[in-house]
Amino acid sequence: EPEVTQTPSHQVTQMGQEVILRCVPISNHLYFYWYRQILGQKVEFLVSFYNNEISEKSEIFDDQFSVERPDGSNFTLKIRSTKLEDSAMYFCASSDHLGADYGYTFGSGTRLTVV
């Protein structure tokens, strides 16, 4: 069964450093998403991406965050200057249709720890 692959599975970074989280969506999917889960809290929507541009973003997704699909296969989330509160599990997801009713495929997540 096709999978969404996220790398790395764990990343530790120092506060203020830039970090890039990588995702390889399912090859024929067109819609891409990032979610995060701070330990003990809800899974929260960050951003959706379609046709090489952001479709929707949450209030969390401020100027410190950016996404891109640099080579037609990878989908990356960049945090420019990490803060302690960015420590969380970050999930990538992809879908071949617009609308959650078709269901996403989620990756296994990247656990980001900012120290």
Partner 1 sequence: AQSVTQLGSHVSVSEGALVLLRCNYSSSVPPYLFWYVQYPNQGLQLLLKYTSAATLVKGINGFEAEFKKSETSFHLTKPSAHMSDAAEYFCAVSLFNQGGKLIFGQGTELSVKP
Question: Where does this chain bind partner 1 (CB under 8 A)?
Answer: 4, 6, 9, 31, 33, 35, 41-45, 48, 55-56, 91, 93, 95, 98-101, 103-104, 106-109
Residue 69, Cα to own-chain centre: how many angstroms?
11
Nearest approach, Cβ of 97 to partner 1 (angstroms)?
Answer: 8
Nearest approach, Cβ of 15 to partner 1 (angstroms)?
Answer: 26
Nearest approach, Cβ of 68 to partner 1 (angstroms)?
Answer: 19
Tokens of 97: 């249709």
State residue 83 phi and psi, 5-degree precision: -115, 160
Q: Kindly report the CA angle at 11 between 60 and 59, in degrees rounded to 5? A: 0
Burial class of residue 74 (count of CB atoms within 10 Å of its CB; 0-12, 13-18, 19+): middle
39/84 with CB nearer partner 1: 39
31/75 with CB nearer partner 1: 31
9/17 with CB nearer partner 1: 9
